[in-house]
Amino acid sequence: MADERLQVASRSSEGGSCPGCGQAVDSSRCAWCGVAMSPNGYIVEKVIARGPHGRVYLARDAEGRPVALKELQFAQVPTTQEIDAFEREAQTLAQLSHPRIPRFLRSFTEGSGVGLRLYLAAEHVAGEPLSARIARGPLGESEARHIAKQVLEVLAFLHGQRPALVHRDVKPDNLILRPDGTVALVDFGTARALSGTRTFGSTLVGTFGYMPPEQLGGTVDPSSDLYALGATLLHALTGKPPGDLVRPDLTLTLPADVPARMRPLLSSLLERDPKLRLRSARAALDVLEGRVAPVQKTQPARMGAVLATVAVISLLTAALSFWTMARRAGTVATAPIAVVDTSGLPYGSDAAKRWFAKQKPRCNALEVTQAIHQSPPPPGWDGAGYAASCYALAGRVDDARRALSQVDPRAQPNAAAILFELGHPIADSGDDVSAAQLMNLVLEFWPQNYQARYHAGMSDYALGHTEQARQNLERFLREYQKDDGFTHAAREVLARIQRGQAPDGVRRGPRE
């Protein structure tokens, strides 16, 4: 160990080659690629990962012990969200002590102005990410169960904190398989504490395919992590990314090659409706280890708590004619919408649908801008509609609006129809809060869409935007004059607004 420290000190004082690009370096930072050599006394040995705003280094401390050193280049960060996530990760790790979570060491800064860099030093977790293991072939049932047990134990620890801590980005890249067979959960920049049992309206983070539908709209609770683990296990067992298995209604398909003993657990973890999922990591552990069987639950009404008295059958019966009328009202004769069932995507040319199918895994907050810049959608209303949908899935509503605004006004309803078809399952699942921005965006470009008008009104009410809810629901009742479950529910909410009653069952946490 003494010889190792001597070699490290010698390389630090005499310069040497850059661990990033191999060029000769005689200062604290490589002039060729910008890699740090010895920030705050940590000697950088290797660049583990790099992104648009920083790097992760393998470094050594003064005692020669390996350290994971995360660097954020302040001048390269486009918004405060990245800085908040970086600082939140340090604060989160500093409060946690678990053998399968990297141990926090310290955080610090170097430089100033455009040269300012933020650093987070944590225990280096040796091993390979689960994603690298999956790349070599699907996992067997025994290996998948071994990983599931360990991750569920970590999630039980996180969700048992007071307040509960939700990771929000459980996926193969963030699970490290150590040489001794244990699994570590890393990257806590997305983690957040819940203000109650559930938080609405949080900033969208996570990875498309692994996050549950309600998280697309910022709604999270501990079951969000359980869904992400289910999607991760599905990927591990099949070798297929969950983004490739998502149906148009945002449910995940369980292929036939998923082992029979794993299917009940995965089905319970991957329920689209959070009320039907296993409610805790401890409960999931009991199912995994055969102590209890998954509870068979009856599907509840999907219009939220305010619709509890509405008959489900009447809603389903009305739905088909409801959507048919709305689509007919918004279809433009000069740019007809052709439905192609074979692709699983709603409307437009094969080129536009192929583009979206390829880009969908990258329709997340971290990758969407670069993905669309590198591979623009095909021209036309359908390309714009799928681009807007990609932005919307990533939580970038303003960018989605700009994409739709560039379409010929006569064809804007058609482009908005693509967004509606891909987004309305969020509202149909009962998560009206998460649907608010999507449905109101659809209405900006397709005001005749009765179903979007209804969902926007219900969403606005759940958010406490009572005046906007009143306007949307009153217009809905003027334009959609059937006497069915939708109109009964709209009248009930309007009556509640008139009486000054708050929505039932909605707990609103602070925004990040």
296: pLDDT confidence band, cut at 50, 70 and 90? low
- What's residue 220's pLDDT? 82
Q: Which of 65, 66, 59 is nearest to 20 (CA)?
A: 59
**Bigger pLDDT: 270 vs 209:** 270
**Measured between alpha carbons, how far is residue 293 from residues 31, 39, 277, 314, 384 in Å?**
60, 52, 13, 33, 46
How many of the other CB atoms lie within 10 Å of CB of 464? 13
Q: Residue 482: which H helix or E strand, with range?
A: none
Query: How far is residue 494 CA from its own chain's centroid?
Result: 33
Catalytic residue list contains 169: yes
Q: Which CATH class is domain 2-123?
A: alpha beta
Write out pLDDT tens, residues 232-287.
999 999 999 988 887 767 788 899 989 999 999 999 999 988 888 998 999 999 99
Q: Are 48 and 58 in contact (CB under 8 A)?
A: yes
Higher-confidence residue of 66 and 7: namely 66
Catalytically annotated residue among 3, 26, 169, 257 = 169
Q: What pLDDT, on the 0 to 100 scale, is given for residue 302?
A: 38
Tell me whether domains 2-123 and 305-499 share a fold. Answer: no
Give residue limits of the domains in the chain. 2-123, 128-288, 305-499
pLDDT at 41: 93
The pLDDT of residue 50 is 81
Pick the CATH number of 128-288 from 3.40.30.10, 2.60.40.10, 1.10.510.10, 3.30.428.10: 1.10.510.10
The CATH class of 305-499 is mainly alpha
